[in-house]
Structure 1
Amino acid sequence: MERRKILLGSGAALATIVAGCSSSETGDDDPSNDSEDSLTDHDDDDDYDDDHDADDDDDRDDDHDDIPGYSGDVSFDSDKLSVESVERKDDTLDIVVYTDTTDSYELRKEFEKLGDELEKSIDDPEAFIAEINTLELIIEYDGSRVLSVYVDVQWVIDYMHGDLTEEELGDKVYETKD
């Protein structure tokens, strides 16, 4: 959401600069064609909503609000992986993750940390598992998908209850790779 706001602000600033440059390049230094109405009457469009774009961005980023037991704070405490987006599709939670490595050994090690990261984002395991069956992690490197894995939510619950170790969970996840 923060990136969208920055991009929106940057786009508005760029449009303002371009508009300012193009209007000053007309060569018309005579302000006589600027009437008082054109300078002050800018409320012709009463239906315009200044907050419209910001509200739309907030709605799209709050998709996790409709998932019981999920806080939406999934992230990786890692230099190699960063979560780009989380989106619900029926009983699957798609998590797009960017990486700075294509080394399968490094990625496998990162999957071992997955249990802790998911445990932090699941507030109510019973409510969560009632709605979501699978987590799909789509790993992207330099704009291209390099790996896709899925996580059975029961594995995460087993990890949370101590029935699976980090290494066992990492192995199960890595074995599902496409």
Structure 2
Amino acid sequence: MERRKILLGSGAALTTALAGCTGSGSNDDDSDDDNDDTESITDNDSENETENSGNETENSGNETENGDESDSEDSDGTDETASTDIPGFDSSKLSLESDKVSVSSVEQADSTVDVAATSGITDYQKLYAELETLAEAHESAIVDTEAFADAIDSIDWVVDHDAKRVVSFSVKTDWLVDYQNGDLSAEALLENVKSTAE
């Protein structure tokens, strides 16, 4: 009888011990799973942070590019180009058929167009010979006669050689209009221009 009680008691103790081991084993598995979950969450967070920081870098790069573009547009002087437009006149077309005299700059000042030119010669007679295409050059540059005549009274030229003035003269808008209408010849226009020379 005592022996049976001892055996039963031992069996119960063994079962309890085994149950405790199993529980602790399952807890170990759970903790491993928890660790795995923690690691995967940490990994995901790290990846997300890396991606986000990459996106922020890209965005800041885009902002920099956009900033550069807007700055370059301002520095390009788009507004300045618009403000120097001469009504009815295309300054890029104002060019003499001469290899001795070339136009350096064309700017509007109120009702006058100021033309700066450089010359490879200083002799007046030779210089005037280079100006034979003056009428045609102005006619090519005037793209809207009415708009030009309404805004501009004259085109004033200053011709320099080695930074020293050679001659200055004026081309009146009225002469150019008469030339375009066939009321003034190219030769007569040039003679009028010569009369203004200084």
**Category of TM-score, reference length = shorter chain:** 0.5 to 0.7
- CA change 1:104–1:126 in 2 (3 A) is same
Equivalents in 2 of 1:61, 1:143: separation in Å?
26
Query: When the two structures are superposed, what TM-score results if normalisation uses the length of structure 1?
Result: 0.66
Secondary structure of residue in 1 paired with 2:188: helix
User: Is 1:108 equivalent to 2:128 in the alignment?
Assistant: yes
1:95 to 111, 115, 120: 115
Given the alignment of the two structures, is residue 55 of structure 1 paired with residue 76 of structure 2, yes or no? Answer: yes
Identity of aligned residues (%): 36
Q: For the residues of structure 2 that align with 1:160 and 1:63, how far apart are their CA atoms?
A: 27
Q: 1:96 to 1:63 in 2, by over 3 A?
A: farther
Structure showing the higher helix proportion among its residues: 2
1:59 CA displacement: 4.5
The CA deviation at 1:60 is 4.1
The letter of the residue matching 2:87 is P
Partner residue of 1:69 out of 80, 84, 88: 88
What pairs with 1:22-41 in structure 2 (closer than 5 Å)?
none
- Cα distance change of structure 1 residues 63 and 147 upon mapping to structure 2, 3 Å threshold: farther
> Deviation at 1:68?
2.2
- How far does residue 103 in structure 1 lie from its aligned partner after superposition? 1.1
Aligned pairs, number: 135
Q: Which has the higher contact order (CA 8 A, sep 6+)?
A: 1
Offset of residue 74 of structure 1 = 1.1
Q: Which moved more, 1:73-82 or 1:89-98?
A: 73-82
Aligned to 2:176: 156
The structural deviation recorded for 1:169 is: 1.0
How much has 1:112 moved relative to structure 2?
Answer: 2.5
Q: Is the 8 A contact 2:87 2:151 kept in 1?
A: yes
How much does 1:85 deviate? 0.4
One-letter code of the match for 1:107? L
More deviation, 88-97/72-81: 72-81
- 1:118 alignment partner in structure 2: 138
Structure 1 or 2, whichever has the larger Rg, is: 2
Q: Secondary structure at the match of 2:104?
A: strand
The aligned residue for residue 154 of structure 2 is 134
CA contact (8 A) 2:96 2:134 kept: yes
Q: Structure 1's 70 and 107: CA in aligned 2 closer, same or farther, altered over 3 A?
A: same
Whole-Å separation in 2 of the counterparts to 1:119 and 1:125:
9
RMSD: 2.4
SS of the equivalent of 2:146 reads helix
**In the superposition, relative to structure 1, how do residues 95 and 89 fare at CA in structure 2: closer, same or farther (>3 Å)?**
same
Alignment partners' CA distance in 1, 2:177 and 2:137 = 13
Structure 1 residue runs without a partner (length 5+): 1-42
- Given the two structures, how large is their TM-score scaled by the length of structure 2? 0.60
Q: Does 1:177 align with 2:187?
A: no
Structure 1 Cα separation of the partners of residues 188 and 148 of structure 2: 22
Asked if the contact 2:96/2:131 (under 8 Å) is kept, the reply is no
